Amino acid sequence: MNERTDDASAPEGASAPPAPAPGGLLGRVRAVLGAHRLATTVGAGALGLLLLGGGALAVGAAMRTPPAPVRVAAAAEPAPSAEPRPSPDTAAAAVALRTCSVAELAADPRLAELQAQVVNAGSGEVLFDRGGSTPSRTASVMKVLTSAAALAVLGPDYRATTTVVKGAEPGTAVLVGGGDVTLSRTPSGDEGVYPGAAHLDDLAAQVRAAWDADPANPPLTRLVLDASYFGGEEWQLSWNLKERDDGYMSNIAALMVDGDRDDPYSNTSFRSDDPVGRAGQAFADELGGIETIERGTAPAGAAQLGAVSSPTVAQLVDKALVVSDNTVAEMLARLVAIQTGAGNGFDAINAGVLEGLAGYGVDTAGLVIVDGSGLSDDNAVPPAYLTRLFQKIAAREGQLGVLLDALPIAGERGSLSYDDRFTGDNAVADGQVIAKTGWIDTGYTLAGVIHAADGATLTFAIYALGDVSDDAKQAIDTLATGFYRCGAQLSNR
């Protein structure tokens, strides 16, 4: 801080200095007074001593002459200093430059019309995006949405029940389908494609025991088949019929056995155009003595003769995801629609599944869900929805840990362990890519979770759509392996 040195004792308007003082004591007094301006600073006692030594008149005359002022140079004004540069209250956060590019892999022509997105599951940052917000067909990745909705609406322990009740006519029993597509005609203790499935021979034994326990009952000769729990068409109009002929999909009915397969021990097996009729005939064969089989409905309040239940929803989700069982996925979607009150036909699936997904807190705007399996080209889900849902799945929110545990794993489990997946250089990602596969004529898809080489957890979805062939699977695997190698350093360029 600069300090001012102005002399406040100098009289205002001071005149020029007087002529030199005469010699002697009085002159010396004048000199002292002029040079040192003691008129106002010298004490009265000291001045009195001077007057006694030199005479009062001389001093009086000297005091009437104003003393010469002492001129003090004005203090120099301080040089202006440069004002400090204003600084922002908060320094801008440093943005890490991500440098690991998969652009060349994403440009593989085998991917056709690529849509993809990758998210850092920990931070929520979108690392890679190619059309990620555009709703498109998903193929069997749709089963992830169906399974998530089933876990939310039905719960992992729900089971579908098939019952037999006494018919209105004498000698009649009614087989009532409860939506269990896994009910099996294989012998109890001998599992077909569905682990934990109920068996017709067990149900028939219950019915025979209950029927014979009442001596008033006439012989059991008539069987009515009630499949009214599901409504509407059995075949979704946008599906290609070759899916049934090639053994990948059945008609959807509330009463069937073994997913309506010709071979109950094979995942891929021809399906008929009458699953209800096949189930009825198999049950009649187990009961014995049946002369007539017909369609109908159970009378209200009829006495129950027997009941068996399906595997749990958790077991069904595992089957739907690990080997991509289409019929089980449709069973789950239809049960969700019924439970939510949306209806019991294909036209109720969209509303039912969306209601089931709503609780996960991921925006479902723009989603179109035509079926539970993903076979339809009319389904529309953006990759961005899947990456956000998979963040919840990776965190095992709610019941979603069941879904995570049911997914295929590269090189180890389910449809990602087949001989044509994650082979060669892509085998480096074995065990680290946990994802649902998808394939229809117009697209191949893969979506799930990657535990990357740098320790980051990524969620991703890849759609290869349009004019694609079987080698799109290898291109998808290579791109996913690129994501695995890059981890959190994955660049969008």
Distance CA 280, CA 264 (A): 16
pLDDT tens digits along 60-81: 333 333 433 333 333 344 444 4
Q: Is the pLDDT of residue 48 over 50?
A: no
pLDDT tens-place string over residues 389-429: 999 999 999 999 999 999 999 999 999 999 999 999 999 99
What confidence category does residue 146 fall into, taking pLDDT thresholds of 50, 70 and 90?
A: very high
Amino acid identity of residue 278, one-letter, is R
Model confidence over 424-482: pLDDT tens digits? 999 999 999 999 999 999 999 999 999 999 999 999 999 999 999 999 999 999 999 99
Active site residue 123: no
Q: Does residue 143 carry a catalytic annotation?
A: yes
Average pLDDT taken over every residue of the chain: 86
Neighbours of 157 (CB within 10 A): 10
Structure tokens at 348: 């109720």
Higher pLDDT: 301 or 59? It is: 301
E strands, 167-299, in order: 172-176, 222-226, 292-295
In percent, the amount of the chain with pLDDT more than 90 equals 80
255: β partners? 180
136 is catalytic: no
pLDDT band at residue 95 under the 50/70/90 scheme: low
The one catalytic residue among 136, 140, 147, 269: 140
Among 147, 184, 310, 324, the active-site one is 324
Q: What is the pLDDT of residues 288-346, one digit of tens each?
A: 999 999 999 999 999 999 999 999 999 999 999 999 999 999 999 999 999 999 999 99
Confidence of residue 28 (pLDDT cuts 50, 70, 90): very low
pLDDT attached to residue 94: 55
CA-to-CA distance for 225 and 247, rounded, in angstroms? Answer: 24
Residue 184 has pLDDT above 90, yes or no: yes
Nearest to 438 by CA among 6, 91, 125, 141: 141
At residue 388, does pLDDT exceed 70?
A: yes
**Predicted pLDDT of residue 311:** 98
The pairs formed by 393-401 with CB atoms below 8 angstroms and a separation of 24 or more are 393/144, 393/148, 393/449, 393/459, 394/121, 394/449, 394/457, 394/459, 395/121, 397/360, 398/151, 398/152, 398/359, 398/360, 399/151, 399/152, 399/155, 399/156, 400/148, 400/151, 400/360
Share of the chain above pLDDT 70, in %: 81
pLDDT in tens, 128-141: 999 999 999 999 99
Marked catalytic residue, from 143, 166, 319, 392: 143
Q: 156: which 2 tokens?
A: 């992992």
Sheet order of strands, 304-309 included: 292-295, 222-226, 172-176, 161-166, 304-309
Residue 1 in tokens: 């801080």
Mean pLDDT computed over 250-273 = 98
**pTM strictly above 0.85:** no
User: Is residue 6 pLDDT above 80, yes or no?
Assistant: no
Task: Determine the angle formed by the axes of helices 142-153 and 383-394, rounding to 10 degrees.
Answer: 50
